[in-house]
Structure 1
Amino acid sequence: MPTTVGEFRADGETPLTMLTAYDAPTAAACERAGVDAILVGDSMGNAMLGYDSTLPVTVDEVASRTGAVARATDEPLVIADMPFLSFGVDEAESLHNAGKMLKEAGAHAVKLESGSHTVELTERLAELGIPVMAHLGLTPQKVNQLGYARQGTSREAASEIADLAVAHEDAGAFALVLEHVPANLAARITDDLSIPTIGIGAGKNCDGQVLVANDVLGLGERIPPFATSFGDLRGEMENAISDYVDAVEDEEFPADEHSHVESDLDDLY
């Protein structure tokens, strides 16, 4: 597994793997399973924090959960997702917020939902030693403008995404997430770039893939059309909790082996 952004490269044979994680147990499981990179995504808003979108997620929430992931792992790259309005408004504030993820939370890099407004910022961050993963295509922080529809479906939109991909590589981005774009567009961009592309709903010709851990684990009620579940953790959790409730109500738990009796206290009351 890569230990620096410079080692986060596709070898031409085995695709790179990235998953989101928002807590120490999930991050540790990702490391044991051999995941190359862990994204502490602002998707925590929908997946973990009960929000309807990623927009309410704060810098402190991302930093706290990034710290948990970083403390639980040694080898995977830990990438902190910069939340809505934490960057792109004021350069000094953008640099401070991104730097906090490395300096205080222990991330190795940050991810920016990218556009024309993040090219210069990516270059400045890279100059300061803050590695940037760019993100083009469907960018959920623009949900109020774009919704969750597939992006890059017209020639004009596809060309814009392709041009922005090159611009962010030139600015110093070490990798690029391509989300919910046509597979042939993602393949073209992957061929155009020397940095790795990580796809999510972008076909199999990217250099790697990323999914939200909740989708992989089967924790959510529904998943996007470009994702799939590899487990049914939601069902397993409900079964375990139901068994606990039944055991308590039937007075089967706690049993004698779950308790301790101190004989010296028999005459205390």
Structure 2
Amino acid sequence: MSTDAPRKPEPDEGPVTPPMLSTWKRAGRRISALTAYDFTMARLLDQAGIDLLLVGDSMGTVVQGHPTTLKVTLDQMIYHAEQVARGASRALVVGDLPFGTYHESIGQAVRSSCRLLKETDCQAVKLEGGRRMAGTIRALVEADVPVMGHVGLTPQSVRHLGGYKVQRDADALLADAAAVAEAGAFALVLECIPSEVASRITAEVPIPTIGIGAGPACDGQVIVTPDLLGLFEGFRPRFVRRYAELGRITREAASRYAEDVRAGDFPGPSESYS
């Protein structure tokens, strides 16, 4: 774990765009990504130099408290993504298309994506699926919608997959990744796949790969921010590295506040007006 001060964005980098990620891949410059769901966290992560903020449907579990991501709606995604886009001045902001908002038809996918981009100022959308979604990705790109793909463990398919399991079919994963890249996606999330498979995909596809539980060879990494900060303590995947224990710190701070209120020690003279 690095003990250096957080990397600040270089003055000449400016706002991150989808084409910049491909430039960074060619240059060997790794991409940092985290999830964000509100203005305050987005601003903090943006100031820390995070390259990409994903407004993930992971909000279904870590914000709303559901066991899966399936209950998140497009209206909810728009509500949160608009806040994140307002909080980020440099990071590329990508919004997830929730389950059921792009599966029915290409027309539905285009309408959902256009709403998400128009009403939030996000720069791109993300959708799950490999070969079966290639036609949808191609249509979105032709409609000038930047698309990030997602293969491997796709949480919206958790019921079909039989749970949150590592996906190990190398041939299928390679075919899915190639199809997503060929369809025009600008980047690709690889979730919960063996490191050696992720390494092969990263070497073979021309677009940047963003790993989550996919090993160190990916062009970038993404983690759910509440996991990174120790705020979501119900479940800790193997691939999560905790950089802080804010859950414990928050409980301790709230407990001290409650004790001070009960004891009549808050507010004191310095917190009161005369």
TM-score band (shorter)?
Answer: over 0.9
Give the Å deviation of 1:158: 1.4
- Which residue of 2 is the match for residue 110 of structure 1? 125
Note if contact 2:130-2:177 (Cα within 8 Å) is conserved in structure 1.
no
Instruction: Deviation per CA, 1:184-213: give whole Å up to 9, x if none.
Output: 000001111111001111110110100000
The equivalent residue for 2:106 is 91
8 Å contact from structure 1 (residues 88, 117) kept in 2: no
Partner SS state of residue 99, structure 1 = helix
> Helix, strand or coil: the match of 2:120?
coil
Question: Would you say the 8 A contact 1:38–1:77 is kept in 2?
Answer: yes
Q: 1:234: which partner in 2?
A: 247
Q: Which has the larger radius of gyration?
A: 1
SS at match of 1:8: helix
Residue pair 1:38, 1:76 contacting (<8 A) in 2 also: yes
Residue aligned with 1:195, SS: coil
Does residue 163 (structure 1) correspond to residue 187 (structure 2)? The answer is: no
Give the drift of 1:11.
4.7
CA–CA distance in 1 between the matches of 2:26 and 2:240? 24
Deviation (angstroms), 1:12 = 3.7
For the pair 1:45 / 2:65, whether they are aligned, the reply is: no
Residue of structure 1 equivalent to 2:270: 257
Post-superposition CA distance 1:203-251 (Å, at most 9, x none): 1011010000011111111311111111001011101100110010000
**What letter matches 2:165 in structure 1?**
A
- Tell me whether 1:177 sits opposite 2:189 in the alignment: yes
Partner of 2:44: 29
Where in structure 1 do 4 or more consecutive aligned residues deviate above 4 Å?
none
- The equivalent of 1:125 in structure 2 is 140
Q: Which residue identity is paired with 1:130?
A: V
The separation in 2 between residues aligned to 1:32 and 1:144, in whole angstroms, is 38
8 Å CA contact retained: 2:28, 2:219: no
Q: Does 1:7 align with 2:17?
A: no
Aligned to 2:164: 148
Tell me, in whole angstroms, the C-alpha distance in 1 between the residues paired with 2:227 and 2:271.
35
The one of 188, 193, 199 equivalent to 2:205 is 193
Contact 1:138–1:149 (CA<8 Å) still a contact in 2?
Answer: yes
1:13 and 1:85 map into 2 onto residues whose CA distance is 36
* Aligned mates of 1:4, 1:94 — CA distance in 2: 22
CA deviation string 1:83-135 (max 9, x = no partner): 11111212222111111111111110000011333100100100111100000
How far apart, in 1, do the equivalents of 2:214 and 2:203 lie?
14
2:209 maps to amino acid: T
Report % sequence identity. 40
> Partners in 1 of 2:47 and 2:34 — Cα distance?
13
Q: Deviations over 1:26-84 (max 9, x none)?
A: 11111111111000000000011111110000101111110000001111100001111
What CA distance in whole angstroms lies between the structure 1 residues aligned with 2:27 and 2:244?
A: 29
Q: Is the partner of 1:104 in helix, strand or coil?
A: helix
**1:246 alignment partner in structure 2:** 259
Helix, strand or coil for the counterpart of 1:68? helix
Q: Distance in 1 between matches of 2:109 and 2:190?
A: 22
Q: Distance in 2 between matches of 1:115 and 1:162?
A: 9
SS at match of 1:237: helix
Matched residue type, 1:200? I
With the length of structure 1 as denominator, give the TM-score of the two structures.
0.93
With the length of structure 2 as denominator, give the TM-score of the two structures: 0.91
Tell me, yes or no, if structure 1 residue 216 matches structure 2 residue 231. Answer: no
